[in-house]
Amino acid sequence: MRSRTAIDRLIARRDIHLWEKTLWRMLYETCARAEELPQLNIEDLGLAGRCAWVKPMRELTSLIGPGASGTH
């Protein structure tokens, strides 16, 4: 796991594309699995609560985000 400082340095780099920066930030902040995040659509995001519903390998959907817990 990378430190918060390492993630911030990575995101500050101009040679890294925005989608990759977003992926790194979301992986760090949500502890989601890497295969869950590319499946998200903009409609899945709860911007106010900084969370999203994802469908992992099992049938239940899970809420990811800082401090999020729950299944749907």
| Residue 44 neighbours by CB distance under 10 Å | 14
How far apart (Å, rounded) are the C-alpha atoms in residues 7 and 1? Answer: 10
Least confident range from 16-20, 58-62, 65-69: namely 58-62
| Cα 54 from Cα 3, distance rounded (Å) | 24
pLDDT of residue 37 exceeding 90? no
pLDDT at 24 over 80: yes
Give residue 65's pLDDT. 66
Placement of tokens 């899945």 in the chain:
44
pTM value? 0.57
Q: What is the pLDDT of residue 47?
A: 74
Confidence of residue 12 (pLDDT cuts 50, 70, 90): very high
